[in-house]
Amino acid sequence: MKKSIRVFSPASVSNVGPGFDLMGFALNGIGDEIEVSLSNKSGIKITKITGDNGKLPYDTEKNTATVAIKSLLAKHKIKVGLEVKISKKMGIGSGLGSSAASAVAGVAAVNELLELNLTRYQLLEHAIEGEMIASGALHADNIAPCLFGGFVLVRGYNPIDIIQIDYPKNLFCTIVYPQIEIKTCEARKILDKKIDLKNAVAQAGNAAGLITGLLTKDFSLISRSIVDWIAEPKRASLIPCYHEVREAALQNGALNCNITGSGPSMFAFSNSKLRAEAIGIAMKKAASKKRLESKIYISKINDKGPVVLK
């Protein structure tokens, strides 16, 4: 048995337009790294956190990674001493599944280190426990794609039912991440508790259309289905450059443009790398006109999920 292991877990786009709390996909290139080591001392201890600008707690009852790990160990009645190092490779409160990436990396690392051979479904319930610490609500549209990879539909929560959806392999995603922070728990508070029947029907139609478009590789259907009638109308006000960024993406050939998760990051789909890059330049320029610094990421959908680095 190894004495330590390091795991990378990817960032993710959630909601994906009409899929509020139901849809998400994993990204390449950005995410979190967690190293878990066996310790002679009992219990779990966070020994180092980097890349968070001092924002994340060392308290293992409040950190998403260690809450997830503790849930796993308790379920399987495992008593072991562990030391945890967390390296944030993405923004906190970015809308790109930062807390989900840490929770998934934590349980994936422990599963490998202790040679538990648990399935991803078995890891899922514990990763969700970690995510709930950050968001204050049960949702798996970041956790599931981060853990399973690919494009994921969370069909239901009682019991949780994860469906991986096929998609066009030439589908590219451009992300603009304005350098502001939006906490998921706060962004959920501004949402309406009840929705109009007309909006519910429109949302369901778009969700069905998006899934159908992905499965049939119909880019036109994907384009016209990425419309959110529930969260986006409320959350757009939290992002100062929302309208400018969306318009810039559409004018440069994006299939559509939408908020990822609670924001402030926004994503745009396109069907080529060159177009995705041009869209990124335009989105960044639009954000800068509102005096917002931003980062751009361009990625295909990541099919792998978490990977062991050593």
For residues 178 and 241, the answer to whether their CB atoms sit within 8 Å is: yes
Q: What is the CATH number of domain 4-165+303-308?
A: 3.30.230.10
Active site residue 184: yes
**What pLDDT does 191 receive?**
86
**What pLDDT does 131 receive?**
87
Residue from 184, 232, 244, 260 carrying the catalytic annotation: 184
Q: pLDDT tens digit string along 148-188?
A: 999 999 999 888 999 999 999 999 999 999 998 888 777 88
Predicted confidence band at 304 (pLDDT cuts at 50, 70, 90)?
A: very high
Q: How far apart are CA 265 and CA 285, in angstroms?
A: 14
- Nearest partner of 183 among 113, 259, 95, 288, judged by Cα: 95
* Torsion angles phi and psi, residue 58, rounded to 5: -85, -10
pLDDT (mean) for 35-53 = 93
For domain 172-300, the CATH class is alpha beta
**What pLDDT does 92 receive?**
87
Average pLDDT, the chain: 94
Which helix (DSSP H) or strand (DSSP E) does residue 276 occupy?
Answer: helix 273-289
On the question of pLDDT at 216 being above 80, the answer is yes
pLDDT (mean) for 230-234 = 92
- What residues contact 210, with CB distance under 8 A and at least 6 apart? 16, 17, 18, 19, 23, 221, 222, 225, 226
* Torsion angles phi and psi, residue 197, rounded to 5: -60, -40
Residue from 33, 112, 131, 232 carrying the catalytic annotation: 131
Instruction: Enter the DSSP assignment of 195.
Output: -
Q: Residue 38's CB: how many other CB atoms inside 10 A?
A: 15
**What pLDDT does 266 receive?**
97
User: Which amino acid, 147?
Assistant: L
Least confident span in 16-25, 108-117, 130-139, 257-266: 130-139
Q: pLDDT tens digit string along 238-248?
A: 999 999 999 99
Residue range(s) in the chain whose domain bears CATH number 3.30.230.10? 4-165+303-308
Residue 168 φ/ψ region, left for φ over 0, alpha for ψ in the -120 to 50 degree band, beta for the rest: beta
**What pLDDT does 254 receive?**
98
Q: Residue 170's CB: how many other CB atoms inside 10 A?
A: 12
Q: How far apart are CA 33 and CA 106, in angstroms?
A: 9
Least confident span in 88-92, 229-233, 293-297: 88-92
Predicted confidence band at 96 (pLDDT cuts at 50, 70, 90)?
A: very high
For residues 81 and 73, the answer to whether their CB atoms sit within 8 Å is: no
State the first-to-last Cα distance of the chain, in angstroms, to the nearest integer: 13
Residue range(s) in the chain whose domain bears CATH number 3.30.70.890? 172-300
**What pLDDT does 255 receive?**
97
Q: At what angle do helices 64-75 and 120-135 cross, to 10 degrees?
A: 140
On the question of pLDDT at 79 being above 90, the answer is yes
pLDDT (mean) for 273-289 = 97
User: Which amino acid, 146?
Assistant: C
Active site residue 47: no
- What residues contact 231, with CB distance under 8 A and at least 6 apart? 15, 20, 191, 259
For 269, the token pair is 């789909």
Which helix (DSSP H) or strand (DSSP E) does residue 69 occupy?
Answer: helix 64-75
Q: Residue 112's CB: how many other CB atoms inside 10 A?
A: 18
For 198, the token pair is 């007309």
- Nearest partner of 66 among 89, 49, 50, judged by Cα: 49
